[in-house]
Amino acid sequence: MEERRLGPVIGLGTWNTFGRDSATAQAVVDAALDAGCRIVDSSPMYGAAEASLGAALDSRRDVSVVATKIWARGVDEGREQFRRQLEWFGRVEIEQIHNLVAWEAHLEWLERERAEGRVERLGVTHYSPSAFGQLADALRTRRFETVQLPLNPHERECELELLPLAAELGVAVIVMRPLGEGALVRRTPPESVLDELGVETWPQALLKWALSDERVDVVIPATRNPEHARANAAAGTPPWFDDEQRRLVERFAA
């Protein structure tokens, strides 16, 4: 699989998939890691997903890259979330401030955690274009190394300001919702279109569509199905789409 600044370009999301179902978590995480994925994304917002993920990674923690989040209005609550994450994961490679919640307050103590080696990189996330102006302001502080945002043929607002800004500042980009929370995979285009794109499945076409923008470092599709995790990982290998192939994907995603 191709590697960019954060490692292999296909990761794994954990929102609304396995929750506290540890058997499903184990099967999905094993399938993703076996297929070459490394980044796993979670959050205290996703119920028991972090705990299930920690258990599933267990013996393979050294080959995984944990990207999780702090989602708390106050510093004490945020620090408690971090304390539990250290129990589950040992360390956190990418600690993101979820939806910009209290980001200035959290940055101060998270920067200390990074200086002491318990966190490798700091990031910030938001799902809504209405907050992209604030997300850009946060990036301009130059205190973040990653940004997580939505990008798929139906959600392209980040192309206006955030992707150029991230490229200018050297901030790595993590793409959430590459399959539109599943809405984009309900229809499949004809086989001839997949052939033209050089992919086996429509989800692979959507993942390649995002990764064909070289400003993107990793996409993190979520699944509760190990077969889907394997198929998604296969989209992480070049060649990437040219402009014409990207437009073809956009036409069938419309």
Ligand X SMILES: NC(=O)c1ccc[n+]([C@@H]2O[C@H](COP(=O)([O-])OP(=O)(O)OC[C@H]3O[C@@H](n4cnc5c(N)ncnc54)[C@H](OP(=O)(O)O)[C@@H]3O)[C@@H](O)[C@H]2O)c1
Of 7, 8, 221, 226, the one binding ligand X by CB under 6 A? 221
Regarding 68 and contact with ligand X (CB under 6 A), the answer is: no
Q: In this chain, which of 7, 36, 123, 203 binds ligand X, going by CB under 6 A?
A: 203
User: In the 8-state DSSP scheme, what is residue 19?
Assistant: T
Angle at CA of residue 77, ends 76 and 83, nearest 5°: 90
Residue 236 in the binding site for ligand X (CB under 6 A): no
Residues 103-132 as x/- pattern, contact with ligand X by CB under 6 A: ----------------------x-x-----
* 237 touches ligand X (CB under 6 A): no
Per rule CB under 6 A, is residue 163 in the interface with ligand X?
Answer: no
Stretch that binds ligand X, among 1-9, 84-92, 133-141, 177-185 (CB under 6 A): 177-185
Q: Which helix (H) or strand (E) holds 66?
A: strand 65-70
Q: Hey, which residues between 17 and 46 contact ligand X (CB under 6 A)?
A: 17, 41
Nearer to ligand X, 15 or 132 (CB): 15
Cα dihedral 160, 71, 226, 230 sign = positive
Burial bucket for residue 133 (CB in 10 Å: 0-12, 13-18, 19+): exposed
225, 237, 240, 250: residue in contact with ligand X (rule CB under 6 A): 225
CB of 222 to ligand X, least distance (A): 3
Q: With contact defined as beta carbons under 8 Å apart, do 39 and 6 qualify?
A: yes
Q: For residue 54, give the nearest of 88, 83, 17 by alpha carbon.
A: 88
162 interacts with ligand X by CB under 6 A: no
DSSP H helical ranges for 131-220:
132-140, 162-169, 191-197, 202-211
Looking at beta carbons only, is 20 or 112 nearer to ligand X? 20
**10: exposed, middle or buried (Cβ count in 10 Å: 0-12, 13-18, 19+):** buried
CB of 58 to ligand X, least distance (A): 20
Beta bridge partners of 173: 147
By rule CB under 6 A, what count of residues binds ligand X?
A: 25
CA distance 208 to 248: 12
Where do contacts with ligand X occur on this chain (CB under 6 A)? 13-15, 17, 41, 125, 127, 176-182, 185, 203, 220-225, 228, 231-232
